[in-house]
Structure formats: structure tokens, C-alpha cells
Amino acid sequence: MSRRAIMLLAMGVLLCWPGLAAAGERFSRENLKLVDRIIAEEMRAKNLPSVVLGVWVPGEGRYVTSVGTADLRSGRRREPTELFRIASITKTVIATAILQLADEGRLSKWDRISKWFPDFPGAERIRVYDLLRMRSGLADSADHAFLQEYYRNRLTTLTPRDMIARAARRADEFQPPNETTVYNNLNYMMLEQILEKVTGRRIDRLLADRIFRPLGMRNSFYPQVPYLYGRLHGYSQDEGSGRLVDVTLLNPAPAGGAGAIVSNLTDLHIWAKEVCGASRLLKPATQAARLRTRAFTGGSPLARYGEGVTKLGPFCGHNGTIFGFSSEMWYLPPLKAVVVINVNRLDADDESQSGELFLKLTKALFPDYVPW
């Protein structure tokens, strides 16, 4: 759920990789060998236990592959349909639910958040719009210091409400709202609480009824327990020994609306099209508005943020990092193509383990579209 992952291009990361795929050759044997080689080289270079990749291009084909080990203790091979923590891709779900309520007239993007957080410092100046677009000016309680604390105590009892209270104590660090676009997990923890306050429903049940069931996303849910259902394990590399440590057991509550959801490759294929294509859940005008983006303040114009959605060059979607898992979910509008990647390693430093792989694979598969 770190800003580091989403700012990969904003920090000027450019990669050189041979691009071979013309439209008719995208899924050729030669090009898929290149894809497999890129994955193998990234796995070796980054010591990744496993990678799953799904690429779907309507009218051309698809490529789904799973490479490596799901459980280092047993040596069991990873399967492509296994569940993983999607981390900040959760924000796309929370934003969609907020926009549904706006479409229904149950709240407005222009509502001041003092309506739900009357005692929060400066809440009378901040709008739902500012939270959605990372323009609140708030201090992020899920900062580097907290992430180190969370890593040391992954079964912490902290809740989203606690995370909001921690941020309130840092009011002297707040900046004026709607002046800068700065990635901030706190915004989506607050949006999660707004959803519960407006509907009177627990977030996991609300998202199941409003998002996952209507779209047939049978493998997606907001967990209430620290266990990851299924047999896939997530790992972090220990700084001292260099060994990969199992960090699968993790309380998702501190991540909350910024990063708690679990899903899989199949469901994220569905979800990418919903978030960035023709929405089945939102009014057309609402969907069009969410996709209007601004560049991150101080970053490259290649990385931009809308209402719970990121644009990286021509790609639309989101990425996500949480201890043990690093993910990419992207949609390429000109081709209506989807790319989903997950690796089962993310360390205490919260540096993306999947971002460079995404850049290299898209350079090989979509060389006529990528600017990197």
C-alpha cells in the first residue's frame, strides 16, 4: 500500500528492453518465449518465489502463466488461480463503492468530510473529492515508520479508526486541500469509514453485495481474519540473513480501505475492465469523471491519479504492495487489453517487486503503445 510502488514511473524509472510484438505476433511462440525469459530473469534477479501473469487482448488471444513456488516449505508449485492480497488495488474497489453512492444521491463528492468526522482537524475544508483524488493534504498515518511497526507486529490489533486517529494527532503537518496530488493511504481508510457510516453496513458485506457478486467475482473479498485462504504463501526477505521469511499471516485491518482485499488473477481480469473500460456499476458520466487524472505533484506526467485509479502512460489501473505480495492490474484502452501480475514477495521496505516486471513485459508485448 506504499506510495513508492505507484510512483515508479513518476520517479523517472525508464527501462530498455527489446520489443518484438506487432499486433499479429503478440502471442506468437517467439514472443511468448521472450515473455517467459523476462519473467525468469526477474525471478532470478529479485529472488522471487513465484510469478503469475495474465494477458488478455480481445480478438488476438491471451496468455496465462504461473511460474515458481507457492510454498517454499513444501516446494508446491504455484497455480494461476490462487488467492493473494491485492493491497492498494483495493482503492479501486472503495472508490467505485463511493461513486455508486454518489450516483444514488446518498452522498456527494463535494460533501465536506466533517459530516462524518466532525472532530477531525480541518475536516470542514476537505471534500470526498479530495480523498478520492489524493488531494486531501493530510499526513499519511501509513508512513514508513508505521510500516516498520506493522512489519514487526503483523498481527497488530490496530483498526482503520486507529489509523485515522493517529493521523489526527499530526495536524501540524497537514497541507491545504486540493492543491497537490500526493499518494496517501489515509484517504482510502477514511473513505471506507464513510461507506460504513452512510450505509450502516460492515465493509466486507457491503462490497460483496455491491461489487463482487454483481460482477461474478467469486474469488474476491474483504477479509476479517489474518489467514489467507488457500495454499499460497507470501514472503519477505530478512535483511540480516537474506532468507525469505513467511509473512502470510497478517491482520489486514490496518490496511483497511487502502489495501485489505484478497482476489486472484481471474477476478482482476474482470475488475480491470470494470474500472477502466465501460462500467456496469457506474453511470457513464461518473465513470468518465473518475478517469480524468492529474499528474502527481513533483512527478513525471506519465504517472497520474484520478478517482481511485492510476494512469501510467496509456495504461489505466492500479498496483499494490503489502508484506508478502506485489501486484499489477492494468488496462490498455486502445486494445481493451488487460495485464495482471502478482509475485509472492514484498519486503519490509515496501518496494514494489512487480513494477519493473510490468514495464519490461509491456515493452515486449505492446511496444507500439508504451512510452518507456
Residue 242 pLDDT exceeds 50: yes
Residue the block writes with cell 509475485: 343
Q: Is residue 372 part of a domain?
A: no
Mean pLDDT of all residues belonging to the chain: 94
Q: What is the pLDDT of residues 303-329, one digit of tens each?
A: 999 999 999 999 999 999 999 999 999
Of 307, 306, 319, the residue nearest 272 (C-alpha): 319
- Reported as type and span, the H/E element at residue 101 is helix 90-103
Which pLDDT does position 14 carry in this prediction? 45
Q: Is residue 116 part of a domain?
A: yes
DSSP 8-state symbol, 183: -
Which pLDDT does position 16 carry in this prediction? 45
Q: Is residue 199 part of a domain?
A: yes
Which pLDDT does position 10 carry in this prediction? 54
pLDDT, mean of residues 326-348: 98
Task: Quote the distance between the C-alpha of residue 268 and its chain's center.
Answer: 11
> CATH number of the domain that 127 lies in?
3.40.710.10
Which pLDDT does position 188 carry in this prediction? 98
- Reported as type and span, the H/E element at residue 56 is strand 50-57
Q: Is residue 371 part of a domain?
A: no
pLDDT, mean of residues 173-180: 97
Q: Domain range for residue 270?
A: 3-365
> Which pTM does this prediction carry?
0.95
Q: Is residue 78 part of a domain?
A: yes
Residue 143 pLDDT exceeds 50: yes
| Cell of residue 130, nine digits | 479530495
| Least-confidence region, from 39-43, 85-89, 216-220, 236-240 | 236-240
Tell me the percentage of the chain whose pLDDT exceeds 70.
94
pLDDT, mean of residues 71-95: 98
Q: Is residue 119 part of a domain?
A: yes
Check the CA dihedral 235-11-263-340 and report its sign.
negative
Tell me the percentage of the chain whose pLDDT exceeds 90.
92
Q: How many domains does the chain have?
A: 1
Q: Is residue 228 part of a domain?
A: yes
Residue 19 or 312, more confident: 312
Residue 292 pLDDT exceeds 60: yes
Which pLDDT does position 240 carry in this prediction? 87
